[in-house]
Amino acid sequence: VNKDLIAAGQVAAHNAQRAANLEADYAALGGMLERRGIDIEKITALAQTFAVALPSWGVGTGGTRFARFPGKGEPRNVFEKIDDCGVIHQLTRATPTVSLHFPWDKTDDPAALREHAAAYGLGFDAVNSNTFQDQVGQEQTYKYGSLTNISAAVREQAVAHNIECIELGRALGSKALTVWVGDGANFPGQSNLRGALERYLDSMRNIYSALPDDWNVLIEHKLFEPAFYATTIADWGTSFACAQELGPKAKCLVDLGHHAPNTNIEMIVARLAQFGKLGGFHFNDSKYGDDDLDSGSINPFQLFLVFNELADAASREGAGFQTANMLDQSHNVTDPIESLMNSAVEVQRAFVQAALVDRAALKQHQEGNDVLQAAQALKHAFRTDVSAILAMARVRSGGAADPVACYRASGYRVQAAEQRPAKAGASSSGIV
């Protein structure tokens, strides 16, 4: 039995108030799906299996390059971050793991942190290294790059940090290391494009050789920022080539915000899945660049199409097909707990909608070149409002019918504001 952050009685009362309406909506949706040959109970059971990891850095206010407006009751350390993640999981039942970021979340006592998380039913997904910022007391600077730096001493420091992340992750029960580097050039001529990638691979080989047998290293690409001319790992092609070079434990991680506008991300997903290199995701949404907005807030159809590819891959590859799914978002104007709950639910929604696609019919339309019907087969699933399934899945798993309403009524944030007085210049992520 997990320790509750919101009193179980409060959640039960919240659900009881909504039970009659939920039953009615669920029955109506069940009837509609039955006419399409879909058993709602199977879909609800599938929805209950859905899980996405929370980014530890997402429970604080992120801010932008211009300013950061701290929120009330922000977590002051990694233990408090885990508390906030515990609330999100208690109410959504969709976020059973946390993805930590080092050194932001570094602790001398990983065993205590693991226990603290386990009390809320939380485990740890991929750990993230950080060589895109200098840290206090560090000997070398990453001003001109980390894993690709022209200086061997800088590269060694960056490799050592990644190996330390693996050690910390091991103690926490993680099974993967995510490596994103901001390395690259801001001006043509600044660095030799091929030379930089050679140095990256050399550094990554050293990190790879420190991976335990049952671990993966996830390579996260990003088009630009902070390198505004040529980022070393800018695209999925480079990521894929590096993952191939490194070996079977190296896979690619797709952050939805790391592409040029209008990039066909679902096709990238299909390609990586086809060649066995799709390792995981950072889910978020964006309009222009790496906006880190809540999942499904701008382009829910794209999110659905990504999950449609994942459903296709799963139908081909069976139970062996799995990806590490994480959220990666940043908040400037919303309560991070609310935004993360919403995002988890929106990603779960896309997962459920993709399960409604009539794959046999779609295949038939494709084989008959019935373009219109093929497109409609996807739209039909996407247009289905599965909210009642999501709510029922949550309630059956012990969560809240309406997580945000339940959270607001609980007064958790008000309490947190009292218990966690604001520190001047405090930052959840370490970026001040």
Q: Enumerate binding residues for Mn ion (CB under 5 A).
A: 255, 282, 290, 328
Of 178 and 384, CB closest to ligand PSV: 178
CA distances from 231 to 82, 95, 133, 152 (A): 33, 32, 16, 20
**Angle of helix 110-118 versus helix 152-172 axis, rounded to 10:** 40
Member of 128, 216, 295, 308 binding ligand PSV (CB under 6 A): 128
> Alpha helices of 285-335 — where are they, by DSSP H?
300-317
- Exposed, middle or buried: residue 409 (CB in 10 Å: 0-12, 13-18, 19+)? middle
CB of 183 to ligand PSV, least distance (A): 12
222 binds ligand PSV (CB under 6 A): yes
Cβ neighbours of residue 13 closer than 8 Å, sequence gap 6 or more: none
Of 286 and 410, CB closest to ligand PSV: 286
146 binds ligand PSV (CB under 6 A): no
The answer to whether 109 and 416 are in contact (CB under 8 A) is: no
Cβ neighbours of residue 131 closer than 8 Å, sequence gap 6 or more: 142, 146, 147, 158, 161, 162, 181
Of 57 and 407, CB closest to ligand PSV: 57
**Own/partner pairs for 147-154, CB < 8 Å, 24+ apart?**
147/179, 147/181, 147/183, 147/199, 147/200, 147/203, 147/204, 148/181, 148/183, 148/184, 148/191, 148/196, 148/197, 148/199, 148/200, 148/203, 148/232, 149/183, 149/199, 150/191, 150/199
What residue 81 binds from Mn ion, ligand PSV, none (CB within 5 to 8 A, per partner kind)?
none
What residue 50 binds from ligand PSV, Mn ion, none (CB within 5 to 8 A, per partner kind)?
none
CB of 12 to ligand PSV, least distance (A): 36
Member of 57, 102, 236, 382 binding ligand PSV (CB under 6 A): 57
CB of 1 to ligand PSV, least distance (A): 34
The answer to whether 24 and 394 are in contact (CB under 8 A) is: no
- The Cβ of residue 30 has, within 10 Å, a number of other Cβ atoms equal to 18
Of 30 and 182, CB closest to Mn ion: 182
Locate 389 and state its tokens: 């399934």
The size of the interface with ligand PSV (CB under 6 A), counted in residues, is 9
Of 282 and 394, CB closest to ligand PSV: 282
402 binds ligand PSV (CB under 6 A): no
Of 50 and 180, CB closest to ligand PSV: 180
Residues 161-190 interacting with ligand PSV (rule: CB under 6 A): 180
What residue 57 binds from Mn ion, ligand PSV, none (CB within 5 to 8 A, per partner kind)?
ligand PSV
Member of 282, 349, 394, 413 binding ligand PSV (CB under 6 A): 282
92 binds ligand PSV (CB under 6 A): no
**Own/partner pairs for 266-269, CB < 8 Å, 24+ apart?**
266/302, 266/305, 266/306, 266/308, 266/309, 267/309, 268/236, 269/306, 269/309, 269/310, 269/313
The answer to whether 282 and 220 are in contact (CB under 8 A) is: yes
d(CA 278, CA 250): 10
Q: What mask, x for binding ligand PSV by CB under 6 A, covers residues 327 to 346?
A: -x------------------
Of 269 and 393, CB closest to ligand PSV: 269
Of 118 and 298, CB closest to Mn ion: 298
d(CA 406, CA 130): 35
Member of 125, 183, 255, 266 binding ligand PSV (CB under 6 A): 255
What residue 128 binds from ligand PSV, Mn ion, none (CB within 5 to 8 A, per partner kind)?
ligand PSV
The answer to whether 351 and 47 are in contact (CB under 8 A) is: yes
Member of 84, 290, 312, 346 binding ligand PSV (CB under 6 A): 290
CB of 130 to ligand PSV, least distance (A): 7
CB of 289 to Mn ion, least distance (A): 9
Member of 105, 220, 294, 309 binding ligand PSV (CB under 6 A): 220
Of 227 and 388, CB closest to ligand PSV: 227
Of 280 and 399, CB closest to Mn ion: 280
312 binds ligand PSV (CB under 6 A): no
CA distances from 70 to 76, 97, 416 (A): 12, 25, 14
Residues that bind ligand PSV (CB under 6 A): 57, 128, 180, 220, 222, 255, 282, 290, 328
